[in-house]
Amino acid sequence: MKPRAIRGMNDILPDVSGTWQHLEAVLEEIAESYGYREIRLPILEHTELFRRSIGEVTDIVEKEMYSFEDRNGESLTLRPEATAGMVRAGITNGLLHNQRQKLWTTGPMFRYEKPQKGRYRQFHQFDVEALGYAGPDIDAEMILMSARIWRALGISRLELEINSLGDAESRGHYREALVAHFSGVKNDLDQDSIRRLDQNPLRILDSKNPDMQPIVAAAPVMLDYLDDASRDHFETLRGLLDAAGATYRVNPRLVRGLDYYNRTVFEWVTDALGSQGAVCSGGRYDGLVEKLGGRPTPAIGWAMGIERFVALYEVCGGETAASRPDVYVAALGDAAEREAFALVERLRDELDGIRLELNLGGGSFKSQMKRADKSGAEYALLLGEKELAEAKAGLKPLRSQDEQVPVALDELARVLAEKLGRT
Ligand code: ATP
Ligand code: MG
């Protein structure tokens, strides 16, 4: 019986992993250029960490976590997002006391969702977090950093939405207003929303149910309930974004799916990927470090969904960057094969990082040339008895009509460096 892959968990095949590598390299480079440093985190954390940080009445904690007991009876969970682990690491490693941290991390996340295009059970995020920064300057900088990523990759068709969730107190007032509003239309609420009405009415605004949209649209908006300090924070953020020429839309109903956010929240959304439109989402979570047992530490972060990011890059005409050899080396006959074997190792010594694929397992000239072509290589290097006798190899361009030329073996490194633009 053939093995089965797990539903919603994808293999990233070699034809697309080159594009992933390219995009990840751009993400890392831009994050590092803004002073973020990499932190690598475990994929498992104690279940309790996510319950406390993400919040009990959220889709993730209610129904999406992959939790299990380890052999010692401890409840562990495959991380559904990176922020909780990041904050946990900040606390347990003492990174936050009298320090500020700009950190990035990347890797797989796990949520038991209904798999569909752009929504998977194992997916990947690139995540940046700034801990110890009260903002709003960092809020603006972080948003501009994400905008720079789109520009660097020629990605358009994205819109920035921002909102403020205020502080705990003002959100409390807002919550009352929401409860009053939704209670008035209780008969029209769906099951999820009725349950949330008592426990977490803000989350009703995040409903994905189309039937709920008119009710959500008529709800009061948080911006009318903001406390003065949060209002100032939001105004300053807007001023900084304006000064930098960033365009955005204030979406007063943007609340985000996790509980820990306050003040600034934002999301980059696209209409180019069907219904999974959120590509990069973030926000401020000033209370989380303390809630998890650290000293009060303001913080903000965003996470990019890499699958959606790759898909959008392709929709916007981004080139796939499959990895290909520079040169495919074909050899005919025992002596030539032996010579070719030594030759490619010498070339690897001399030309740092050159991508050489040596024909392995023999084969006719014709079949070797077929493999050369299929490999996507720029050139084929041919070694037969005749070439061997003359201490030469035939260099054949595979992507142009140019003629094959003979090159002396001891000239090869120089000629290849020149042809491949490595001088
Ligand atoms: P959505 O509203 O689409 O469910 P979310 O609000 O749950 O997204 P976050 O928890 O903020 O998403 O995660 C940050 C980013 O990770 C999202 O903007 C999205 O690009 C991506 N993402 C979230 N869940 C998935 C998933 N199941 N599959 C693929 N990407 C995802
Ligand atoms: Mg979600």
Average pLDDT over the chain, rounded to whole? 94
Tell me the β-bridge partners of 109.
123
Nearest ligand (C-alpha, residue 305)? 1
Specify the pTM: 0.90
Q: How many Å lie between the centroid of ligand 1 and the Cα of residue 138?
A: 23
Map out the domains of the chain with their CATH numbers.
14-167+227-315 (3.30.930.10), 327-419 (3.40.50.800)
Please, are residues 327 and 377 in contact by the beta-carbon 8 Å criterion? yes
Q: Cα–Cα distance between 180 and 175 in angstroms, integer?
A: 9
Among 3-7, 303-307, 317-321, the minimum mean pLDDT is found in 317-321
Top-confidence residue, 319 or 165: 165
Give the closest residue (by CA) to ligand 1 atom 19. Answer: 305
Q: Looking at residue 58, what is its pLDDT?
A: 84
Q: What local confidence, expressed as pLDDT, does residue 423 receive?
A: 65
More confident residue, 274 or 240: 240
Query: What average pLDDT score do residues 200-217 get?
Result: 86
Q: Is the CB of 328 under 6 A from ligand 1?
A: no
Residue 206: pLDDT over 90? no
- Say which amino acid occupies 138: I
Determine the Cα–Cα distance for residues 206 and 187; give it in Å rounded to an integer.
19
How far is the C-alpha of 144 from the C-alpha of 137, rounded, in Å?
Answer: 11
Rounded Cα distance, 24 and 354, in Å: 22
The encoded tokens of residue 134 equal 């009260």
Q: What is residue 342's DSSP assignment?
A: H
The phi-psi region of residue 172 (left if phi > 0; otherwise alpha if psi is between -120 and 50; otherwise beta) is alpha
pLDDT score at 257: 65
Ligand nearest to the CA of 117: 1
pLDDT at 198: 84
Average pLDDT over residues 49-59: 90
Cβ–Cβ under 8 Å, residues 56 and 62: yes
Nearest partner of 277 among 157, 147, 109, 148, judged by Cα: 157
Q: Is 193 close to ligand 1, i.e. is its CB under 6 Å away? A: no
% of the chain with per-residue pLDDT over 70: 99
Strand order in the sheet with 66-69: 44-46, 75-78, 66-69
44 lines ligand 1 (CB under 6 A): no
Strand-strand pairing, 158-164 and 249-250: parallel
Question: Mean per-residue pLDDT for 177-186?
Answer: 90
Distances (CA, A) of 157 to 62, 143, 241: 33, 16, 19
Lowest-confidence region among 11-20, 158-167, 194-203, 280-289: 194-203
Q: What pLDDT score was predicted for residue 73?
A: 97
pLDDT the model gives residue 260: 81
DSSP letter (8 states) at residue 402: P
Of 99, 76, 86, residue with least CA distance to 40: 86
CB distance 288 to 53 below 8 Å: yes
Residue 259 has pLDDT above 80, yes or no: no
Place of tokens 């439109």: 277
State the pLDDT at residue 201: 87
Q: How far apart are CA 407 and CA 423, in angstroms?
A: 18
180 exposed, middle or buried (CB, 10 Å; 0-12, 13-18, 19+)? exposed
